Homo-oligomer: A and B are copies of this chain.
Amino acid sequence: MPNPVIDCLMNHRSIRKFKPQALEAETLETLLQAGVRAASAGNLQHYSLIVVDDPEKKKALLDWPEAGPVTYIIAAVDEYRFKRWAELSKAPFYFDQAVNLFIGYWDAIVALHNIQVAAESLGLGTVYIGTVLSSDLTAILGTPEYVFPAGMLVVGYPDETPELRPRLPLEAVVHFNGYHIPTDNEVNAFFLEKNKLWNSLPASRREKLIEQGITNMAQRATLGHYTEEFIAGESKAIFENLKKAGFKLSEPGD
């Protein structure tokens, strides 16, 4: 039962090479309008979208000059706007708690994802940038309290046509009426194709990894890519951002 919408979703690729052509204002407006039509908890839009095309600010967010005149769009959890409204309405403000952080994160990401899907439907290329979580939005973009980075999307005109990347088999990811704890054999079957990618790496690349003590794809994902230092550093910066934003992330008395 394919249709143009499902075709678009099924053909998502992340794009990392762009033409030297900036987004037109009208196109950007279309993307943003699609973004804010996404579902939002209580229709309160607990997020902001920050469009960045200033080269210096882009550099501070993600130093990627070879991407050219692409546009960065940040989605941030935002309870600051609600707080201002509450103050003017003599309503109490207590949306600084765990549920607000996660519901706001959800709101922010679906708005940003609408933008990604809309952009791809127009032939634009995009890629999500996870390190925005550890970016200092207060220093770079002047975000106030109760604003926390949720996601960032790079949007531009694609200059590559990558293959679809294989996903895990559906049975690895989908559970019915309960979480299926897989046997070791099942786990091996889930990751069979991913494990095989080791042999498709260029021999020189593989040798270099082996020198680092990396002999398979799971070790490459951890030791070779998301190292313990990287994970710890990103997490530390996220704690800083949560503190700066003022979201309460531990139980009172903990």
For A222, give its contact among B1, B92, B130, B142 (CB under 8 Å).
B92
Question: What is the number of residues of chain A that contact chain B, defined by CB distance less than 8 Å?
Answer: 125
Query: Would A42 and B225 be within 8 Å (CB), given that A142-B181, A151-B106, A175-B141 are in contact?
Result: yes
The interface residues of chain B lying within 8 Å CB-to-CB of A3 are 4, 121-122
User: What's the least CB distance linking A215 to chain B, in Å?
Assistant: 8
Bound form: Cα–Cα A53–B177 in Å: 7
Most B CB within 10 A of own CB, among A5, A45, A187:
A5
**Contact of A167 with B45 in the complex, beta carbons under 8 Å:** yes
**Contact of B179 with A228 in the complex, beta carbons under 8 Å:** no
The interface residues of chain B lying within 8 Å CB-to-CB of A225 are 42
**Contact of B14 with A39 in the complex, beta carbons under 8 Å:** yes
Query: Would A175 and B48 be within 8 Å (CB), given that A30-B1, A114-B9, A235-B248 are in contact?
Result: yes
Q: Besides the contacts A50-B175, A52-B176, A117-B117, what 7 more A-B pairs have beta carbons closer than 8 Å? A: A5-B118, A45-B167, A89-B217, A91-B218, A105-B105, A142-B178, A144-B179
4 tightest A-B contacts by CB? A89-B218, A5-B121, A99-B234, A98-B235
User: A residues near B, CB below 8 A?
Assistant: 1, 3-6, 8-12, 14, 26-27, 29-30, 32-34, 36-45, 47-54, 57, 81-82, 84-86, 88-95, 97-100, 102-103, 105-106, 109-110, 113-114, 116-118, 120-122, 127-128, 130, 133-134, 137, 141-144, 147, 150-151, 164-165, 167-168, 170, 172-179, 181-182, 184, 187-188, 190-191, 195, 216-219, 221-223, 225-226, 228, 231-232, 234-236, 238-239, 242, 248-251, 254
